[in-house]
Amino acid sequence: MTTSEIDAIGLDVLRRHLDSLGTRYASAAPFPHAVIDDALPTDVFAAAVDEFPAIDDPAWRGYLHVNETKFANPDRDTWGPSLQAIAEALCSDDFVKALGELTGIKHLIADPSMDGGGLHQTLRGGFLNVHTDFTTHHRNRNWRRRINVLLYLNDSWLSEWGGALELWDSDVTTKVSAVEPIGNRMLVFTTSVGACHGHPDPLECPPDAARRSMALYYFTDEDRPARRSTRYRARPGDGLKRVAIWGDHRLLSLYDVAKTRLGLSDRIVSKVLGRLHRTLVRLRHKK
């Protein structure tokens, strides 16, 4: 992809805001982050929305357990041309350099393999409990995860549907802010053991709608970085629910270790989780 083609995707938007965003990014609470609206040119965003896979597309992989119910598609070969071009631009040297200037983190590495990222959708009733992210790449073990970029690809989204990404303090005692998943909005934030975030309340969107996004993660190459799996956290008032959150977190930690050491496929696990999820739904309906 040429520089002019990358600029057409919308990197010029980030460049124009770099100076003003830099100071605000570092000082943002509860952890460094920035929100960029109108991230893509209108025509590029419209094409991405049109190409976004249907709710029932067979390429979706389900992450369906106590702490989240969402679907992911990290396989860029199944995406439309505009979505592929956007991902390529966001993995380009120019964008990664700009991202490093914004965040103050040098030598960032893009991840075209989309480990844990790619296209995401959450349907009615879906949620993602408050958590901190896994800290290293599952294949490149010296890659330490540093930055998340979330690009929201909803054609329209009403606030009463829920789905705002909540940003909590490191003790999960106070929700400091929330970012609505407005279409063509980009959220950039630094990942750390204290960067607690999620949208834990079930979505109330119509059955034919979904909370849609593209997620990309960026890393630095370090000598034996500390490895932690995704850690889910209970909110104040969660009561007995916190026991289920903790138990599910422990099981997922074991899976994370097995995934890294044995090379387990997310697709295989997603099929198992999908069958279990459908079984539980049928049982609930029988009651």
Domain span at residue 29?
A: 3-286
Q: What's 251's domain CATH number?
A: 2.60.120.620
pLDDT confidence of residue 18: 61
- pLDDT per residue, tens digit, the chain (287 aa), is 555 555 656 667 666 766 678 788 999 999 999 999 988 889 999 999 999 999 999 999 998 888 899 999 999 999 999 999 999 999 988 889 889 989 999 999 999 999 999 999 999 999 999 999 999 998 898 999 999 999 999 999 999 999 999 999 999 999 999 999 999 999 999 999 999 999 999 999 999 999 999 999 999 999 989 988 889 999 998 887 877 776 665 666 655 555 555 455 555 555 544 454 444 444 444 44
pLDDT confidence of residue 178: 98
CA distance 40 to 113: 22
Tally of structural domains, the chain:
1
- Partnered with residue 220 across adjacent β-strands are 144
Runs of H (alpha helix) within the chain: 3-6, 12-27, 42-51, 81-90, 93-103, 241-262, 266-286
Tokens of 194: 């204290």
pLDDT confidence of residue 8: 59
The CA-based angle 127-129-134, given to 5 degrees, is 120
The pTM of the full predicted model, rounded to 2 decimals, is 0.86
Q: Are strands 143-152 and 211-221 parallel, antiparallel or unpaired?
A: antiparallel
Around 203, how many Cα atoms within 13 Å sit in the side-chain half-sphere?
Answer: 28
The pair phi, psi for residue 166, each rounded to 5°, is -85, 135
